[in-house]
Structure 1
Amino acid sequence: MQTFTVTIAKGEKFYIAQCKEHSNCFTQGKTIEEAIHNIKEVIELILEIKKPKIKVVLKEALVNAL
C-alpha cells in the first residue's frame, strides 16, 4: 500500500490540504479533521485508490498556533 504525504495549512477561513506527491490533489475543510477526510476522498477519486494511507504534515505556522 502506498502512503501519501499530505500537508495542511491554515487559510483565512479554511484548512487547506494538499497531497505532496500529486499537486492536483488538494481540498479544504472547516476543521483539520474535515480537511483530512476530504483529501482522502480526493485521492480516492483522482488516483482511484481505495482507503489511501496518508501521513499528515502540519505547516510550521499551524503547529505553532496549536
Structure 2
Amino acid sequence: MTPLNKLSTVEWAENLAALNSTAFVDLAPLQVNEKMLDAGICLGSAYTFYRGMGENNQVKGTSASQRVA
C-alpha cells in the first residue's frame, strides 16, 4: 500500500532542483529547508531532502569509514 503522503516524481524533481539551485547548492539540506520555510515554501522535511539526495547519489559520507583516502 502506497502512503498517502508519498512524493510524486515531479515533487522529487522539485526538491532536487531546489537543492541544486545556485541559491542553495553550498548549503546543507537542513539549512535549505529552513530558508525555504522562512520564505513560505514547503517541499518537505530536511529528512526528505536528505533521502532524495541519497537516492540520487548526492550525499557524501562524513564519517572516517566513509571517506575516500
TM-score normalised by the chain length of structure 2: 0.36
Higher normalized strand content (fraction of residues): 1
Higher normalized helix content (fraction of residues): 2
Which of 1 and 2 has greater Rg?
2
